[in-house]
Amino acid sequence: MTITRLPDLKFNDIERNQAKMKEFQSQKCMKIVTDEDVLQAMEWTGKLAESIGFLYTDQLLLRLVTEEAIVNAREYSSEDGQNEVKINWNFTHKVLVISVKQLGAFYSINKKEDINYGLRGRGLQLILNIMEEVWLEQEEANKITLHMKKCLNDERER
């Protein structure tokens, strides 16, 4: 498991949909408390992905990553008796990084190849297979952040 700090991503001028991107530049962070917050975060991810230029299928998959990461964080945080989850979006015209911060300690984020026939346990595997880079960061003693990065593939998307 590689642990690295999130690199500083600048909000560069966007070649397409600059008006839409300004809307998202002001929505960098969101606290997640209710199910409606989760749906709102998914909606923001989808719109942001569309503005960057991801294909519709990838927009849906990025929404899925958002839902899975937040739901996992809420479940894990609530095990500790508290529930503090935040989501953050960092982006350039080609890169989207979704970061979900929660209370808790490090956990394993390894891809698995075996088939899961059960009811649970697919959320993290979906994230690891959809996103190009996934890593955990510990900024404070009992808080971790899951960072998930996807790049716009010029050959596929444009």
Q: Are 90 and 6 in contact (CB under 8 A)?
A: yes
CB of 156 to other proteins, least distance (A): 13
- Quote the CA–CA distance of 69 and 123 in Å, as a whole number: 7
Shortest CB 38 distance to other proteins, Å: 6
Nearer to other proteins, 30 or 60 (CB): 60
Determine which helix (DSSP H) or strand (DSSP E) holds 64, and give its type and residue range.
Answer: helix 56-79
Please report how close the Cβ of residue 91 comes to other proteins at its closest, in angstroms. 21
CB of 117 to other proteins, least distance (A): 6
The site for other proteins (CB under 8 A) is made up of 35, 38-39, 42, 56-57, 60-61, 63-64, 67-68, 71, 115-123, 125-126, 129-130
Q: Which is nearer to other proteins, 51 or 59 (CB)?
A: 59
Return all residues near 42 (Cβ < 8 A) that are at least 6 apart.
63, 66, 67
Measured from the CB atom, the residue of 14 and 124 that comes closer to other proteins is 124
The residue among 7, 29, 33, 26 whose CA lies nearest residue 95 is: 7
Tokens 């989808």 sit at which residue?
46
